[in-house]
Structure 1
Amino acid sequence: MALATQPATNFLNKKNPLLNNFSTKQPKISTRSLVIRNSATVAPPSTIKVAKECKVKSVKARQIIDSRGNPTVEVDLITDDQLYRSAVPSGASTGIYEALELRDGDKSVYGGKGVLSAVQNINHILGPKLLGVDVRDQANVDAIMLDIDGTPNKANLGANAILGVSLSVCRAGAGAKGVPLYKHIQEISGTKELVMPVPAFNVINGGSHAGNNLAMQEFMILPVGATNFAEALRMGSEVYHTLKKIIEKKYGQDACNVGDEGGFAPNVQDNREGLVLLIDAIERAGYTGKIKIGMDVAASEFLKDGKYDLNFKNQPNDGAHVLSAQSLGDLYREFIKEFPIVSIEDPFDQDDWNSWASLQSSVDIQLVGDDLLVTNPKRIAEAIQKKACNGLLLKASIKSIIFSFSYSFYRSTVTESIRAALDSKAAGWGVMVSHRSGETEDNFIADLSVGLASGQIKTGAPCRSERLAKYNQHIRIVVASCSFCALKRNLEMCVMLVKLSDPFKDILWRRNRIVFGAMKSQSYKFSEPGKSSEIFYLTSQHGCQLETIS
Structure 2
Amino acid sequence: MQIKKVKCGKIMDSRGIPTIEISVMTLNGTFTASSPSGTSVGKYESAAFSHKGIDASIFLLNSLQDEIRKISFVKFGDLEKLENMIRSYDDTTNYRKLGANVLYALEAAILKATAGGENMELWELLAEGKKPKFPFPVGNCIGGSLHSKLLFKPDFQEFLFIPRSDEFFENVFINSRAYKLAEQKLLLMDKTFSRKVTYESAWETSLESEQILKIMKEVSKELEKQFEAKVDLGIDIAASSFSNNGKYKYKDKTLGSEGQIEYIKKLIKEYGIDYVEDAFSDDDFASFTKLKDSTGCMIVGDDLTATHFDRVKQAISTNAISGLIVKPNQNGSLLQMKKIIDLAESSGIKTIISHRSGETMDTTIADMAVGWHLDYIKTGIKGREREAKLKRIIEIEKGV
Q: Which residue of 2 aligns with 1:249?
A: 188
**Kept in 1: contact 2:49–2:57 (CA 8 A):** yes
1:372-387 aligned within 5 A: 372-387=304-319
SS of structure 2 residue aligned to 1:156? coil
Amino acid at match of 1:379: R
Q: Secondary structure at the match of 1:148?
A: coil
Worse-superposed segment, 450-459 or 376-385: 376-385
The separation in 1 between residues aligned to 2:166 and 2:98, in whole angstroms, is 44
> What residue in structure 1 maps to residue 274 of structure 2?
342
1:68-125: CA deviation from partner (whole Å, max 9, x where unpaired)? 11000000111123111000000011111111112677xxxxxxxx622222222123
User: What is the DSSP-based 3-state SS (H/G/I as helix, E as strand, rest coil) of the residue aligned with 2:274?
Assistant: strand
- The answer to whether structure 1 residue 393 and structure 2 residue 331 are counterparts is no
- Which amino acid in structure 2 is aligned with residue 387 of structure 1? N
In the alignment, the residues of structure 2 paired with residue 429 and residue 58 of structure 1 have an alpha-carbon distance, to the nearest angstrom, of 40
Partner of 2:358: 438
Q: Which residue of the partner structure matches residue 67 of structure 2?
A: 129
| CA deviations over 1:286-305 (Å, ceiling 9, x no partner) | 35862111111111111123
Is 1:480 aligned with 2:395?
Answer: no
2:99–2:332 contact (8 Å) kept in structure 1: no
Matched, 1:117 2:60: no
| Alpha-carbon distance in structure 2 between the residues aligned to 1:221 and 1:94 | 23
Letter in 1 for 2:24: L
Counterpart amino acid of residue 301 in structure 1: S
Q: Counterparts in 2 of 1:31-430, with a 5 A limit?
A: 54-102=1-49, 115-125=54-64, 127-136=65-74, 137-187=78-128, 192-212=130-150, 213-224=153-164, 226-252=165-191, 254-269=193-208, 271-285=209-223, 286=226, 290-311=230-251, 320-397=252-329, 399=330, 411-430=331-350
Which structure would you say has the larger RCO, counting Cα contacts within 8 Å and 6 or more residues apart?
2
Q: Distance in 1 between matches of 2:132 and 2:154?
A: 37
Q: Report the Cα distance in structure 2 between the residues aligned to 1:272 and 1:287, rounded to whole angstroms.
A: 25
Quick one: which amino acid aligns to residue 251 of structure 1?
D
Alpha-carbon separation, structure 1, partners of 2:357 and 2:19: 13
Q: Residue 277 and residue 103 in structure 1: after superposition, are their counterparts in 2 closer, same or farther (change >3 A)?
A: farther
Cα displacement string for residues 44-88 of structure 1 (whole angstroms, at most 9, x for unaligned residues): xxxxxxxxxx11111111011000110000001111231110000
* CA distance in 2 between partners of 1:139 and 1:255 (Å): 50
Residue identity in the other structure for 1:208: L
- C-alpha separation between the residues in 2 aligned to 1:383 and 1:230? 33
What is the letter of the counterpart of residue 421 of structure 1? Answer: I
Q: Secondary structure in 2 aligned to 1:149?
A: coil
Distance in 2, Cα, partners of 1:396 & 1:140:
19
Q: Which is strand-richer, 1 or 2?
A: 2
1:444-459 correspondence to structure 2 within 5 Å: 444-459=364-379
What residue identity is the alignment partner of 2:8? A
Give the % identical residues.
Answer: 29
Give the match for residue 9 of structure 1: none
Name segments (4+ residues, structure 1) moved above 4 Å.
none
User: Could you tell me which amino acid in structure 2 is paired with residue 359 of structure 1?
Assistant: L
Q: Deviations over 1:343-369 (max 9, x none)?
A: 111110011122111111111121111
C-alpha separation in 1, matches of 2:10 and 2:97: 18
Offset of residue 392 of structure 1: 1.4
CA distance in 2, matches of 1:421, 1:69: 31
Residues 142-197 of structure 1: CA deviation (Å, up to 9, x unaligned): 3322343112111111111111111111111111111111011111xx7x442111
Name the SS for the 2:248 alignment partner: strand
Determine the C-alpha separation between the residues in 2 that align with 1:470 and 1:206: 23
Q: Which has the larger radius of gyration?
A: 1
Answer yes or no: is the 8 Å Cα contact 2:142–2:203 preserved in 1. Answer: yes
Alignment RMSD, CA only?
Answer: 1.7
Tell me how far apart the structure 2 counterparts of residues 75 and 258 of structure 1 sit (CA, whole Å): 29
The answer to whether the 8 Å contact 1:121/1:161 transfers is no
Distance in 2 (CA, whole Å) between partners of 1:291 and 1:86 is: 33
Q: Is the 8 A contact 2:138 2:162 kept in 1?
A: yes
Give the CA deviation at 1:381.
Answer: 2.0
CA contact (8 A) 1:247 1:255 kept: no
Q: Does the CA contact (< 8 Å) of 1:375 and 1:412 recur in 2?
A: no
Structure 2 length-normalised TM: 0.94
Amino acid at match of 1:447: D
Q: Which has the higher helix share?
A: 2
Tell whether the 8 Å contact from 1:57 to 1:132 is kept in structure 2 after alignment.
Answer: no
Cα offset, 1:389, TM superposition? 1.1
Does the 8 Å CA contact 2:193/2:206 hold for their aligned counterparts? Answer: no
Secondary structure of residue in 1 paired with 2:71: coil
SS in 2 for 1:140: helix
Contact 1:55–1:134 at 8 Å: present in 2 too?
yes
8 Å Cα contact 1:201-1:222 kept in structure 2: yes
Measured after TM superposition, the shift of residue 249 of structure 1 is 2.2
CA distance in 2, matches of 1:334, 1:288: 27
Offset at 1:283? Answer: 3.2
Stretches of structure 1 that go unaligned for 5 or more consecutive residues are 1-53, 106-113, 312-319, 400-410, 482-550
| 1:485-504 → structure 2 map (5 Å cutoff) | none
CA displacement, residues 314-366 of structure 1 (integer Å, 9 cap, x when unaligned): xxxxxx42111111111111111122322111110011122111111111121
CA distance in 2, matches of 1:262, 1:276: 21
Distance (whole Å) between structure 2 residues aligned to residue 68 and residue 266 of structure 1:
19
C-alpha distance after superposition, 1:417-436 (max 9, x if no partner)? 11111111111111001100
Tell me, in whole angstroms, the C-alpha distance in 1 between the residues paired with 2:212 and 2:5. 49
Report the TM-score when normalising by structure 1: 0.69
Between the aligned partners of 2:84 and 2:212, the Cα distance in structure 1 is 44
Per the TM alignment, residue 379 of structure 1 is displaced from its structure 2 partner at its CA by 1.6
Moved more, 378-387 or 444-453: 378-387
The 8 Å contact of residues 138 and 377 in structure 2, kept in 1 or not, is answered as yes
